[in-house]
Amino acid sequence: MKLITAIIRPDKLNDVLEGLFEIDVHGLTITRCLGHGGELESVETYRGMTVKMELTEKVKIEIGVSDPFVEKTVDAIVQSGRTGAVGDGKVFVTPVSDVVRIRTGERNQDAVTPTSYPVSAAF
């Protein structure tokens, strides 16, 4: 069980979502955030004050996946989120020791493996 955390460009979000849906990753959580990296920061001016904006808008995607699917998921993100310019972002994979579904209380792999994914409900 792993948690994949990807930082991507906001304007690539819909592409990444489609990339993930295509490989049938449907459980995910996203958060708006700001990032600093190798990108050129933008300069803004307000009434004589010149300001360097060190942070650029980004989106964070968090996806919990079972181990065998980590590769596939990371690949999907990397492919659909790439523009080739500095600032495309990073993917971090971190270990997860436990997962619980709040609705049912199901835990861990148990909570995950046997249930059949409700295709119709998901769309």
Ligand X SMILES: Nc1ncnc2c1ncn2[C@@H]1O[C@H](COP(=O)(O)OP(=O)(O)O)[C@@H](O)[C@H]1O
Counting contacts by CB under 6 A, is residue 56 touching ligand X? yes
Interior/surface letters 28-65, b for 16+ CB within 10 angstroms, e for the rest: bebeeeebeeebeeeeeeeeeeeeeeeebebbbbebeb
Counting contacts by CB under 8 A, is residue 37 touching a copy of itself? yes
Counting contacts by CB under 6 A, is residue 42 touching ligand X? no
The site for a copy of itself (CB under 8 A) is made up of 2-3, 5-8, 17, 26-38, 40-41, 54-55, 58, 60, 62, 64, 70, 74, 77-78, 81-103, 105, 117-118, 121-123
